[in-house]
Amino acid sequence: MSAKKLALLAVMALFVSGSVAAEAVHKYVGVKKCSMCHKSEAKGNQFGQWQSTGHAKAYGTLASPEALETAKRVGLAGDPQKAPECLKCHTTGYGGEQAEGFIASEGVQCETCHGAGSDYLSLSVMKSREKSIAGGLIMPTKEVCEKCHNKDNPNYKEFNYDEAVKKITHPAKK
């Protein structure tokens, strides 16, 4: 390869790594922030609807007698509430590069499915779906659920997306 080509490649590599570093890493803000704007009955109270699902209790579940049984079955010693093997599916943002602001006790909260909120939660951004998506908002599909509802789950039950999504959605009142 010619020196000129090499130099060009080096510049390109610099450009690519530079642009990756410059890309915003969205941070988790916690469910309390989302609830500020998403708990009014008039708009559907997504916060309240979420609280009534198993997702809100997923961290607590890890302290149950069943959790100890599960841990024993998979050969895990110690407290399931402290085990990365369990936290990865029973909490939000655990272990990821974006885990700053991680609050285990909130369980599987909004940002698990909708993406870390630091760059979309301001009112001016949230009012526009386009801006929100650009800021990291995700409108979840089956693939998002299957990150946890899969056979790595020691208590796996058949996952039927169409049935399951009906049990956990929180439509706005139209």
Which of residues 11, 16, 82, 147 is near ligand HEC by CB under 6 A? Answer: 147
Query: Count residues contacting ligand HEC (CB under 6 A)?
Result: 68
Q: How many CA atoms lie within 13 A of 5 on its CB side?
A: 2
Q: Answer for the pair 67, 80: CB distance below 8 angstroms, yes or no.
A: yes
The CA-based diameter of the chain, rounded to the nearest angstrom, is 67
Q: Answer for the pair 43, 173: CB distance below 8 angstroms, yes or no.
A: yes
- Which token pair is 48? 């309240």
**Cβ closer to ligand HEC: 4 or 166?**
166
First to last CA, the chain: 63
**Cβ closer to ligand HEC: 105 or 155?**
155
Question: Does 106 engage in binding with ligand HEC (CB under 6 A)?
Answer: no
Which of residues 27, 45, 57, 98 is near ligand HEC by CB under 6 A? Answer: 57
Q: How many CA atoms lie within 13 A of 58 on its CB side?
A: 22
**Position 100: which residue type?**
E
In 3D space, the residue among 58, 59, 36, 61 whose CA is nearest the CA of residue 46 turns out to be 36
Which of residues 80, 106, 119, 135 is near ligand HEC by CB under 6 A? Answer: 80
**Cβ closer to ligand HEC: 13 or 43?**
43
CB of 25 to ligand HEC, least distance (A): 15
Which of residues 88, 100, 102, 104 is near ligand HEC by CB under 6 A? Answer: 88
Q: Is 35 exposed, middle or buried (0-12, 13-18, 19+ CB in 10 A)?
A: middle
Question: Does 125 engage in binding with ligand HEC (CB under 6 A)?
Answer: no
Instruction: Please report, as ranges, the residues that interact with ligand HEC according to CB under 6 A.
Output: 29, 31, 33-34, 36-38, 43, 46-47, 50, 53-55, 57-58, 61-62, 64, 66-67, 70-71, 74, 76, 80, 83, 85-86, 88-90, 108-114, 117, 121, 123, 126-127, 129, 132, 139-140, 144-145, 147-150, 152-157, 164-165, 167-172
